[in-house]
Each structure stands twice: as C-alpha cells, then as structure tokens.
Amino acid sequence: MYHDVITQKEAKKFRTVAFPRFKRSTSMDDQGLVYIDKYAVSEKGVITDAEEPFIAKMSRRVGQLTGLSTELPHAEPIMVLNYGLGGAIQHHLDYFAEVYHRYTAIDGNRMMTFLTYLNEVEAGGAIVFPEIDLITPAVQNAALLVQNLKKSGDYEPLSLHAGCPVLMGSKWTAVKWIREYGNEFKRPCSLSPDE
C-alpha cells in the first residue's frame, strides 16, 4: 500500500469529473456480451489521459511508482468507481482467464492493478484478499498495488480479492490496469516460477 499518492484536491477532481460519466457497472462475458453483474454493485466511469491533463499526470505517477509503462496500449485508461450504501464487489481475479482470451490478444493480460482510494469510507468498503488473509481498509489518498500475474506471466491466484459492502457513507476508487505487453523488459521474468 502506498500512502498519499494523490492530494485531497486531486481526489476531489477525480470525483467531480467522473460523476457525470457514471453508468451502472457492467461486466462482459467471454463472447463480448455486456451484462449487469449483481456481484459488482457500483457506478463507473472511464477518463482517458487525453481527455484530462490531471488524469495523464496520474497515469505518469503510476508509471513512476511501479516502474512500468502506463501509456496506452500498455495500460488501460483510468476507471473511477463509486459504491453507494451496500455497494460491493464479490471476490474475483482481475486477470482474464483462458476463456477471455479475446481481451488479452492485443495488449496481454492485466499484470498489475493500481487502485487508489479517493475518499475515506465511514464504515465498510475494505478490500480483502481471502487467500492471504489480508484486509486493506479504505485509506483516503492511499493506493493498493496488486500483482495479478507472476513474473512468469502465469496467473497469480493469491490475488483473489473482494470489495466489502459499504456500511456507512460511500466509497470512491480509481483503478489503473497495467498490461503485459510493453512491460516485458520493465518486469523481466525470474528464475523462480513462483515469484
């Protein structure tokens, strides 16, 4: 977890700019069909680097912190999420499994997730990693870096995570997914298959 990745002012700007773009979060099946997922109850909006200089700045910052390329197409545009009362996301993996290969053909899989908390949640909203017994509470302006793939490119099942329901207040996060291609030399493979 990284603390104070963004300023209070930036966090507010994220929320203000994302708000008019919000749509009920949807998921896509392995055939590319969009559906409302009752296991992911939130609103979401995407803001590209080209649209907003402060978003481009954030993408560069994620690049500096991770040492990875965060430019398109080596990473996805930043997605802002808002969870209202009871909003949550069930446990899931951020990488695309084999059946979703159509989403990884061009840029590779989602090797890392960089998730920034844009506000303090009054109660609830923690992100939990059940495989490693880890609970990460929502700390405003802090960010979570999740390694979804091993250095070998194999899936990292320990990255399984969930967003707990919001019990009081609401929860805002910003997600930047970093893809494999373009980052091969920035995160080289290791001698250990488990790393």
Ligand X SMILES: O=C(O)CCC(=O)C(=O)O
Residues that bind ligand X (CB under 6 A): 81, 89, 94, 127, 161, 163, 173, 175
From the number of C-beta atoms within 10 Å of its C-beta (0-12, 13-18, 19+), residue 138 rates as: buried
Interface region with Fe ion, contact rule CB under 5 A, candidates 62-70, 86-94, 98-106, 150-158: 86-94
Identify the residue among 43, 76, 94, 156 touching Fe ion (CB under 5 A). Answer: 94
CB of residue 88 to ligand X, shortest distance in Å? 8
Q: Which is nearer to ligand X, 18 or 175 (CB)?
A: 175
Q: Which is nearer to Fe ion, 44 or 187 (CB)?
A: 44
Distance CA 112, CA 59 (A): 13
From the number of C-beta atoms within 10 Å of its C-beta (0-12, 13-18, 19+), residue 135 rates as: exposed
3-state helix, strand, coil in the chain (%, to 5): 20, 35, 45
Q: Which is nearer to ligand X, 119 or 173 (CB)?
A: 173
Q: Which is nearer to ligand X, 133 or 194 (CB)?
A: 133
Task: Work out whether 76 is an interface residue with Fe ion (CB under 5 A).
Answer: no
Q: What is the CA radius of gyration of the chain?
A: 16
Q: Summarize as ranges the residues that interact with Fe ion (CB under 5 A).
A: 94
